[in-house]
């Protein structure tokens, strides 16, 4: 991760015209600090006569040292997947309630961004998952889908409501055959998302692990397990009426019996920058309404 931020990309929540005003104010602030400002193309569509260079996300990833995302956690998830191959740190500014990933408010963004530009921040390197789907038509050998996930990869039953049956292998070793509503493979970042609501553990983001969390398993002995991120997880669909794979609830793939989903750690990480004094445990207390001291 670069620690000197000379070129900053600004990205707003898509289809949100109200982003334009705070984004332009932030751009002027950054210019005043001697920083070159670039704007995402879709974000710029909400700005009349945008006075800053407008680029596609991939070009921003190649040119920027830092990306500031104004929106919510969903927007941050999308940008993190896109910027993962590039050495670009991310900062999240939330429009409303502070999120797990976007933890800076619009009201305090000038002060906070200013201190970050001075080198006063807490950095977290977060892992992502790379998921591949192999078609059962050719013995599970033909790759038909390839995508990144920042939170999780989830295999679920479809709209029919019937349980699905699937086999799970870790590093080629058979673990179990399970009947359930699905299975979630979550990163530490995703441990506070879908996996948490399904009874999974909260995992500190500094850990390099994956959590496998069953969704409403038929057998109560099927419990969540945490494994090394060096492992490769394989999920093979054995019986299902309408199975689907979801990736951060952003991308999805319609599965068929015999399809194989392979999940492993992505080779790049993404760096999130937080204000000085940021505490992960403090954030959990606030977001999950834990008792305060």
Selecting among 40, 48, 65, 73, the annotated active-site residue is 73
Query: Residue 287 has what pLDDT?
Result: 87
Inter-CA distances, 14 with 146, 170, 264, Å: 24, 38, 29
CA dist., res. 2 & res. 286, Å (int): 30
pLDDT of 138 strictly over 70:
no
Domains of the chain: residue spans and CATH: 7-119 (3.40.50.10330), 128-267 (2.60.200.30)
Query: Residue 14 has what pLDDT?
Result: 85
Assess whether 73 carries a catalytic annotation.
yes
Q: Which two tokens stand for residue 226?
A: 């945490």
pTM of the model: 0.93
Burial classification of residue 32, based on how many CB atoms lie within 10 Å of its CB (0-12 exposed, 13-18 middle, 19 or more buried):
exposed
Asked if 99 and 107 count as a contact pair (C-beta separation under 8 A), the reply is: no
Give 147-199 pLDDT, tens digit per residue: 999 999 999 998 877 899 999 999 999 999 999 999 999 999 999 999 999 99
Burial classification of residue 60, based on how many CB atoms lie within 10 Å of its CB (0-12 exposed, 13-18 middle, 19 or more buried):
buried
Give 228-279 pLDDT, tens digit per residue: 999 999 999 999 888 999 999 889 999 999 999 999 999 999 999 999 999 9
Asked if 163 and 157 count as a contact pair (C-beta separation under 8 A), the reply is: yes
- CA 15 from centre of chain: 20
SS3 109: helix
- CA 284 from centre of chain: 17
Give 36-84 pLDDT, tens digit per residue: 999 999 999 988 889 999 999 999 999 999 999 999 999 999 999 999 9
CA dist., res. 282 & res. 248, Å (int): 25
Termini Cα distance of the chain: 35
Of 66, 65, 64, 41, nearest in space to 52 by CA: 41
Helix axes of 20-32 and 109-117: crossing angle, nearest 10 degrees: 40
């Amino acid at each position: 991760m670069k620690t000197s931020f000379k070129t900053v990309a600004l990205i707003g929540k898509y289809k949100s015209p109200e982003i334009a005003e705070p984004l332009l104010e932030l751009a002027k602030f950054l210019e005043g600090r001697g920083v070159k400002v670039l704007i995402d193309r879709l974000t710029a569509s909400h700005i009349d006569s945008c006075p800053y260079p407008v680029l596609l996300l991939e070009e921003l990833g190649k040119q920027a040292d830092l990306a500031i995302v104004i929106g919510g956690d969903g927007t941050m998830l999308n940008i993190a997947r896109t910027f993962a191959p590039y050495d670009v740190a991310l900062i999240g500014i939330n429009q409303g309630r502070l999120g797990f990933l976007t933890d800076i408010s619009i009201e305090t963004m000038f002060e906070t961004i200013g201190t970050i530009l001075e080198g006063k921040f807490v950095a977290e390197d977060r892992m992502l998952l790379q998921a591949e789907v192999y078609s059962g038509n050719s013995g599970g050998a033909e790759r038909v889908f390839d995508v990144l996930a920042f939170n999780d990869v989830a295999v679920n039953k479809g709209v029919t409501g019937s349980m699905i049956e699937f086999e799970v292998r870790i590093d080629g070793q058979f673990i179990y055959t399970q009947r359930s509503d699905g299975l979630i493979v979550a990163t530490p970042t995703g441990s506070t998302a879908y996996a948490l609501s399904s009874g999974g553990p909260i995992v500190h983001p500094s850990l390099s692990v994956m959590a496998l969390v069953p969704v409403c398993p038929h057998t109560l002995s099927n419990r969540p397990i945490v494994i090394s991120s060096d492992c490769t997880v394989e999920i093979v669909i054995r019986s299902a009426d309408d199975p689907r794979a979801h990736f951060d609830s952003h991308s999805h793939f319609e599965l068929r019996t015999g399809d194989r989903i392979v999940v492993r750690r992505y080779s790049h990480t993404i760096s999130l920058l937080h204000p000085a004094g940021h505490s992960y445990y403090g954030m959990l207390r606030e977001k999950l309404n834990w008792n305060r001291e």
